[in-house]
Amino acid sequence: AQRVTQPEKLLSVFKGAPVELKCNYSYSGSPELFWYVQYSRQRLQLLLRHISRESIKGFTADLNKGETSFHLKKPFAQEEDSAMYYCALRGAGFQKLVFGTGTRLLVSP
Amino acid sequence: EAGVTQFPSHSVIEKGQTVTLRCDPISGHDNLYWYRRVMGKEIKFLLHFVKESKQDESGMPNNRFLAERTGGTYSTLKVQPAELEDSGVYFCASSQPITGELFFGEGSRLTVL
């Protein structure tokens, strides 16, 4: 079975502090991992995917197959990073995304 | 270019009534997905269309839910009769190709009283 776990419902940090949003997954094969973000009054949108190995808006995420994790990190949080973040998985041969419950990031000034 | 559009944005109905949600995907996107987020829980997959065909409907909760995609363009999701536990936000997404990025609509919030 495919499952994504985001243990934190809310993560509150101050501007300029480092941020790490945790994501662990359960899947027996080689998954494709994603981070989606929903800013206030905006639609859900792709932030980054592990295969592209990009840094988007200063965020990075590394797939750790040994720990089955795909944590999202940013060294210095900005107020505009405040949003709901969802980790998602797509298994080989499957087209659907499996989402976690999401983590709300709140960056205070 | 217009994104994925969903209608209505919010619907309030009473238990036992019928509601139909509509999704217009991005033009040219063959893949259309329906997801649902119930308060406090994950965004859960409902089903996936490729053009007009149902590719995967393993997430449909029960036979009170009926999804269609006539002509492979827009899609509707009908809930009949609605129950309290159907309340949530229903998201539609489209993609092209199948492994491409999913583009989401703003969601349709359904409240069943």
Mutate to test the interface with A, among B24, B37, B39, B42 (most CBs of A within 10 A): B42
Give the residue with greater pLDDT, B2 vs A65: A65
The residue in chain B having the minimum alpha-carbon distance to the alpha carbon of residue A36 is: B102
* B18-56 residue pLDDT tens: 999 999 999 989 999 999 999 878 899 999 999 999 999
First-to-final CA distance of chain A: 41
* B63-108 residue pLDDT tens: 999 999 988 899 999 999 999 999 999 999 999 876 678 999 999 9
Report pLDDT for B72: 84
Cα distances (angstroms) measured from residue B84 to each of B5, B12, B17, B19, B94: 25, 11, 11, 13, 28
Report pLDDT for A55: 80
Of the candidates A27, A104, A25, A29, the residue with the CA atom closest to the CA atom of residue A70? A25
**A58 and A71 Cβ atoms separated by less than 8 Å:** no
> Cβ contact (<8 Å) for B98 and A86?
no
Tell me the shortest Cα–Cα distance from A14 to chain B, in angstroms: 25
> Cβ contact (<8 Å) for B45 and A98?
yes
Which of the four pLDDT bands, split at 50, 70 and 90, describes residue B57? very high
Calculate mean pLDDT across residues B5-9.
96
**B105 and B36 Cβ atoms separated by less than 8 Å:** no
> Cβ contact (<8 Å) for A102 and B43?
yes
Cα–chain center distance at A7: 12
Mean pLDDT of chain A: 92
> Cβ contact (<8 Å) for B107 and A46?
no
Is pLDDT at A28 greater than 90 in this prediction? no
Which of the four pLDDT bands, split at 50, 70 and 90, describes residue B1? low
Report pLDDT for A94: 67
Report pLDDT for B5: 96
Percent of chain B whose predicted confidence (pLDDT) is above 70: 97
Of the candidates B49, B69, B72, B48, the residue with the CA atom closest to the CA atom of residue B59? B48
Report pLDDT for B41: 84
> Cβ contact (<8 Å) for A98 and B104?
no
Is pLDDT at A31 greater than 90 in this prediction? no
For B:70-109, CB contacts with A below 8 A are 91, 93, 98-99, 101-107
> Cβ contact (<8 Å) for A97 and B106?
no
* A44-94 residue pLDDT tens: 999 998 877 778 899 999 899 899 999 999 999 999 999 999 999 998 776
Calculate mean pLDDT across residues A5-15.
96
Q: Which DSSP string do the residues of chain B spell out, in sequence order?
A: ----EEE-SEEEE-TT--EEEEEE--TT--EEEEEEE-TTS-EEEEEEEETTEEEE-TT--STTEEEE-GGGS-EEEEESS--GGG-EEEEEEEESSTTS--EE---EEEEE-
Residues listed for chain B: 113
**B65 and B78 Cβ atoms separated by less than 8 Å:** yes
